[in-house]
Structure 1
Amino acid sequence: MVAFERKQNNGEWSEKELSTLLAALGAAIAPGTGRTWETGMTEKGDPQFYLLGPLPDQASELCVSRIAGRYILEDGSGRLLFEHRNLDLVGLHAKAAIPSTSWLMVRAITLWCAVRNTIHEKVEPLLVEGEELLVQFVPQLSAFA
């Protein structure tokens, strides 16, 4: 008896493929990140895997498609990041392509930079002027001592 490989249903991911993708993107899909994943199909019925960002937008951050036995990795804008027949390699590239900084951290850094810039532009000139006044009046104040 000869065991033949079953022909894969073209429009669906196999359990092995899904587990490979989920293992590679496990840290990105962790509960604290707010990210989720979803599957879909191309116009021609080829399977796609989407990594979705946090609510409320849930914008697509990554997409993996299987077309004619090749796995295609694209970013959220549809730019090609990597293409190969080995899903494990595509998973490694997908893991590396995920931004590791959370949106909350990005907003905190942006706020810090805005506060620092405001202090630099508004408060520092006042301090410099105050120092200049102090330099001018200290000799006169020492005459009273």
Structure 2
Amino acid sequence: QAKDFIDNYFAVYSGVKKFFDENVRHAEESGYIKTIFDRRRKILAINSRNKMEKEGAIRVAKNSPIQGSAADIVKKAMIDVSQALKATGSKARLLLQVHDELIFECDDDEKSISDAIALIQDKMEHAVRLSVPLRVSIEHGKNWGEFH
């Protein structure tokens, strides 16, 4: 059933399979894969004769451009947001990153919260220009447990 599900997925989304195949081919030829910001990750076992090593390297070649690019984008967004908060004199500040979430601390009044949310959303959604729009969801509360 799993094989059928995967086969059907790639039949419907053939561009995803093509993307994966191109990344694997590039890794086999060059020994590395790149993110959208051209950050490179070496994939030493991509041409291994050991089947287990080769399969693991193929998974890395498929996953790294996506996960690495997501990390690049969130890092750029963090820098952009931080600079914008300072430039506007906002007392909101970035406290923590948890995977793809950013946790901020902000004054308790509604204006401070709404101003910070608008700025954070704008900077995060415009951190990079892609062929599809970036969208973020923002939740707020007295503590992380209230909205997570």
TM-score strictly above 0.5: no
More helix by share: 2
More strand by share: 1
- Please identify the structure whose Cα radius of gyration is greater: 1
TM-score (norm 2): 0.31
TM-score (norm 1): 0.31
